[in-house]
Amino acid sequence: MIMELTTVWFALIAILWAGYFLLEGFDFGVGILLPVLGRDDRERRLLINTIGPVWDGNEVWLLVAGGATFAAFPEWYATLFSGFYLPLLLILVALIIRGVAFEYRGKRDGAVWKKRWDLSIFVGSLVPALLWGVAFGNIVRGVRLDERHEYVGGFVSLLNPYALLGGLTTLTLFTLHGAVFLALKTDGEMRRRANKLAATIGLPAVAIAAAFLICTAIIRFDGIGVGLFAVAAVALVAALVANRLGREGWAFIATGATLVLAVLGLFVTLFPNVLPSTIGDANSLTVHNASSTPYTLKVMTWVAVFFTPIVLLYQGWTYWIFRKRLTVEKIPA
């Protein structure tokens, strides 16, 4: 039973991270594109309003993923947050600044005031979009763990070429995902500019993502993982085709599928490890030696069965209520 539940919770954590990248990914993309597509204050307010009702709800997926990791695999959680302390702290600070910026931007009318918070939104979106890829790149590649499963490397070793390529992959994919979302959620001139920008971002996103997934298959080959990567690549190309045809809904579904399939592929490739050791396989953390007790996993399973449908229902309801397109003309001067 303990082995079965550890596998179940590893899969659930993979789904939570896939959901987070799917939903928060376009949030980050909108924030990154704020100074690019927002030519004046009204246009920037329009861009912020596209994610205004949902951005904080999307972050729930991160909180649940972190909490589930802490409860189901405490050894994994402890090693990650001690070894990856600085990059995770940078992500946390960026998310805090970004959240404060959304709330405080409209408190005053001064141009300088708004410009500073717009910059905060941009930086607070770009930093996590980059560093999440770096973090997952190191998790898949493996880090220096000793026989006590403690990280003995340094911060610089986390900035290896493969991890940095992972960071560029999430950065470009999130930006593309955000551009497609803006083309889906706006109309008029903003919709046309977002559609055109998505086409521009698409080609480098395909090249960078393909390079990262090929490197991943070389480092840790897994047949199912490679299959998921291949389908993700097809979905990414389909997103560009749909965007070119002006079918923003299909393009958004395709970019979302790309992110979900890529994350699931990384977790499949990683299994049964949760954090490999580059010093020796005996030092690696696995779903078995990093897990909680059977009782803890049983309680968590029942809690997940009860609360997960509720979360999905209220979040789905939110997206349905705020599904209509927005235009600059609807933003008061």
Q: List the helix and strand counts (H, then E) for the chain.
A: 12, 2
Helices in 2-110 by DSSP H: which ranges?
A: 2-37, 41-51, 55-58, 60-72, 74-83, 85-104
Highest mean pLDDT among 174-183, 217-226, 277-286: 174-183
The string of pLDDT tens digits covering residues 201-240 is 999 999 999 999 999 999 988 999 999 999 999 999 999 9
Q: pLDDT band for 137, please (50, 70, 90 cuts).
A: very high
pTM: 0.95
Largest Cα separation within the chain, whole Å, is 63
> Does position 188 have pLDDT exceeding 60, yes or no?
yes
Residue 189: what pLDDT?
Answer: 93
Q: Average pLDDT for residues 264-293, to the nearest whole number? A: 93
Angstrom distances, CA of residue 236 to CA of 70, 215, 230, 243, 256: 33, 18, 10, 11, 9
Q: Average pLDDT for residues 17-33, to the nearest whole number? A: 96
Residue 214 CA to residue 157 CA, distance in Å, equals 21
Residue 116 CA to residue 106 CA, distance in Å, equals 12
Contact predicate 138/168, CB 8 Å = no
Domain boundaries, the chain: 2-298+315-327
Q: To the nearest 10°, the Cα dihedral for 141, 145, 151, 157? A: -40
Residue 324 CA to residue 333 CA, distance in Å, equals 21
Residue 226 CA to residue 232 CA, distance in Å, equals 10
Q: Average pLDDT for residues 110-123, to the nearest whole number? A: 93
